[in-house]
Chain A
Amino acid sequence: MTVTEMAVSTATRGPRFVPGTSEEQQLFARHQQGDRLAREELVRRFMPLARSLARRYDRSSEPFEDLLQVASLGLLKALDRFDPEMGHPFASFAVPTILGEMRRHFRDAGWSVHVPRGAQERALKVRDAQERLANERGRAPTVQELAQYLELGQGEVIDALQAIQAYESLSLDAPRPGATDEATSYGDAMGEEDSRYELVELDATVSAVLGRIPQRERQILRMRFVEDLTQTEIAARVGISQMQVSRLLRRSLDQLRALTDTKS
């Protein structure tokens, strides 16, 4: 069910179908006089609205239960502050109040500066599932297969694939592009294997440039573009994940392009 479908079902289940003059207004009137039962009934009626708003943030970092709790708090605030005399429907007042509560929660949790932990964990789960499924089937899985296996949405798997590229860069020991002295030392350490497998016919400029790419990256480039191996096959040979192979390939191609641009 999509979020909007949820909202639709919320609306049809909600108090909208009660004509404005009646029950809902009476409930608000009783609530304003301090009737706890009326308040409870209003909470019950509008909880689907809070739930549908919490749902909209559900692919972020926080567990859904926490989000729902914050949304419910927002709903209570909205109920207590709402003035039916203004003549607006309650939801048009409640939505910004609930969203405001949720955004405050994110800010307070320092969510803007830290990499969301839930998203990071999910990314690692996707990476592990990728390896497991590739082992079982002898080929890399599709996003649909990963989503089914992990009981996630395809969007969440795609978000995770993107995130892995960002997170792993923090934990890798490979030298960063542009770190000249390290790159040179890697270039000096160009192994025997490389001379056996020539990448392609290289002119002097290109060889010089390739020499500045770390050896492991050079090997991976060769396996992909000369030996025509898939990333999953490369991952098995080198002993890293396919996602990491992907990241290293993209980064070293970028580096090569930057270096050849400078040379020419």
Chain B
Amino acid sequence: MIAAAPNVSLTLSNQPENVLLVRETLSGLAETVGVDGVELNDIRTAVTEACNNVVLHAYEGGEGPLQVELYLAPAAVEVVVRDHGTGIRPHIRSEEENALGIGLSIIQALAPRVEFKDVEGGGTEVRMEFSTPGTEALAPLAEAGFQAPTVTEAALATTTGLALAPSELAGHVLPRVMCVLAARARFTTDRISDAEMLADALVSRGFQSGAQQHMTLSVQVGTREVELRLGPLGGGDAGKLIANTGAGIGPVVEKLTDERRIASEGAFEMLELTMRDKR
């Protein structure tokens, strides 16, 4: 393990369309640190195999969580793909040259270091380390008390949870994630671009409010509707986030969203934003 806390943590369902979301996240990460085409392709290919295994085999045809974590270390990128399913190790280990066998061969051929682990309480974790000469480590998600974004089992089918740090990485990753999710909500390209602009605005101000060293949010996708829940934020920070994203030309966040709510959760605040495509 190269760091205690990741730079990106994704909580997804194991639906096939989420593999694309993971791939776009990797592209955003590569863009941040300047990983080149061949290296990025290796990482994307190996991680796609690991995710496809979770999509197809972890829950015996059913649905369940797919967790992906990205770590940026000096000259290395580590990716963890985790499920809480029935465990794919027996299949992987078997001598059968099945799909998993080929997937595993691909992962092993492309990632210099691979580790398979059982997850406590059931499931499998695939940990892949890729060497990326010249890249530097980024400050990880706040290590103390970091928790992967929580999405309830019931909400998982429509909701994506993510946590990101630091802001330069979030600036490359969040707009891409929003692009994928807005596309999934059947937004037009106009509105997809608005969703990316909203992501830009949130990243540029999200890291300034309070003592936030990272950004945690969940995004729920409906039909022509995307709902973001950002937080937990410190008291008063949600309001500041709306007010401060104006970039000098007025309330940009207000223009880009259809609804804005600030909900309190104990001592914390959640900022809830709804975007629709009314075309």
Point out residues on A near B: beta carbons under 8 Å. 2-5, 7-8, 10-11, 14, 16, 49, 52-53, 56-57, 60, 89, 91-92, 95-96, 99-100, 103, 106-107, 111-113, 116, 130, 139-144, 146, 154-155, 157-159, 161-162, 199-200, 202, 205-206, 209-210, 221, 224-226, 228, 230-232, 242-243, 245-246, 249-250, 253-254, 256-257, 259-260
**Which of B39, B108, B183 interacts with A142 by CB under 8 Å?**
B183
**A-chain residues with CB within 8 Å of residue B248 when the two chains form the complex:** 202, 205-206, 209-210, 256-257, 259-260
Tell me which residues across on chain B come within 8 A of A260, comparing CB atoms.
247-248
With A139-B279, A231-B190, A253-B252 given, name 17 new contacts (CB 8 A).
A10-B99, A56-B106, A92-B97, A106-B37, A106-B41, A112-B37, A112-B38, A112-B39, A140-B191, A142-B183, A162-B27, A162-B176, A246-B193, A250-B193, A253-B197, A253-B201, A257-B204
Q: B190 is contacted by which of A5, A242, A259 (Cβ under 8 Å)?
A: A242
B106 touching A225 by the CB < 8 A rule?
Answer: no
Check A11–B109 contact: CB distance below 8 A.
no
* Count of chain B residues near A, Cβ 8 A: 56
Residues of B within 8 A of A100 (CB): 109
- Cα distance A35–B152 when bound, in Å? 60
A43-B101 Cα distance, complex, nearest whole Å: 20
Q: Are A249 and B193 touching (Cβ within 8 A)?
A: yes
Q: In whole angstroms, how far apart are the Cα atoms of A4 and B45 in the complex?
A: 12
- The residue of chain A having its C-beta at the shortest distance from the C-beta of B52 within the complex is A4
Q: Which 6 residue pairs across A and B have the least CB separation, nearest first?
A: A95-B105, A96-B109, A140-B188, A246-B193, A143-B183, A200-B250
Q: Is B249 among interface residues, defined by CB-CB distance under 8 A?
A: yes
Residues of B contacting A: mostly: helix
Q: Could you give, for residues 12-48 of chain B, a 1 whenever the CB lies within 8 Å of some chain A CB and a 0 otherwise?
A: 0000100010011001000000001111011001001
* Contact between chains at B189 and A242 (CB < 8 Å): yes
B103 within 8 A of A: yes
Given the interface pairs A142-B183, A155-B20, A231-B190, the reply to whether A103 lies near B38 with Cβ below 8 Å is yes
Q: From residue A227, how far is it (CB to closest CB) to chain B in Å?
A: 11
The distance in angstroms between the C-alpha atoms of A33 and B20, with both chains bound, is 46
Interface of A is mostly: helix
Contact flag A142-B37 (CB < 8 Å), given A95-B102, A162-B24, A253-B197: no
Task: Say which residue of A107, A141, A257 sits within 8 Å of B188 (CB atoms).
Answer: A141
The reply to whether A158 and B99 contact each other, CB–CB distance below 8 Å, is no
Residue B96 lies at the interface, judged by CB distance under 8 Å to chain A: yes
B29 to chain A, nearest CB (A): 13
CA distance A141 to B193 in the complex (A): 12
Contact B190 A253 (CB under 8 A): no
What chain A residues lie within 8 Å of B68 (beta carbons)?
none
Contacts of B59 on A, CB cut-off 8 Å? none
Task: Provide 18 A-B residue pairs closer than 8 Å at the C-beta atoms, listed in order of the A residue.
Answer: A2-B52, A4-B56, A5-B99, A11-B98, A11-B102, A49-B102, A91-B105, A103-B42, A106-B37, A113-B36, A142-B187, A142-B188, A143-B192, A158-B24, A158-B179, A199-B250, A250-B196, A260-B247
B255 on the interface (CB 8 Å rule)? yes
Q: Known contacts A4-B49, A16-B98; is A256 also within 8 Å of B179 by CB?
A: no
Q: How far is B37's CA from A60's CA once the two chains are assembled, in angstroms?
A: 9
Q: Distance (Å) between the CB of B233 and the closest chain A CB? A: 19
**CA of A257 to CA of B102 in the docked complex: distance in angstroms?**
48
Among residues of A, the one whose C-beta sits closest to the C-beta of B39 is A112
B200 at the interface (CB under 8 A from A): yes
Q: Judging by beta carbons under 8 Å apart, are B102 and A52 in contact?
A: yes
A57 and B97 in contact, given A210-B249, A225-B249, A225-B250 (Cβ under 8 angstroms): no
